[in-house]
A and B are shown apart, each in its own frame.
Chain A
């Protein structure tokens, strides 16, 4: 199973690597921004349309 921690958008917390932020770039019709959503490292990312495998 692909998990969030394998994604290049995943940034783990220093104090707890099992948690982190999924950081993504968004451009909506009015503005561009970076968003961060708290996720678990082990969350299932197999259905995630934004998943991008981290370069090893």
Chain B
């Protein structure tokens, strides 16, 4: 595989909107384990379009494959989304919420913007 193809594969999840994540599953609050409520997750600076990275897993990881692929070495974080299904991820650690609806504080960057997180306890 060329270097460009590898990169494209690694970032594939970020390129196209995932219908499941945009709608169906989302409206019901996602699964119990989604990246957005994991303490290792960091949203993109735009903080509102559902994209982000994992602070722990690195580029090349894939937590949706069976079995999941974990890359722990490297520089760039694993690109994932707030609503990505993390049920297979052994590194998932639920973050501590300050308030129930996922809004950590009034400062923009700390808000979890996705309404689905309103159902998270």
- Chain A directly contacts chain B within the complex, with at least one CB pair under 8 Å: no
By a beta-carbon cutoff of 8 Å, the part of chain A in contact with chain B is none
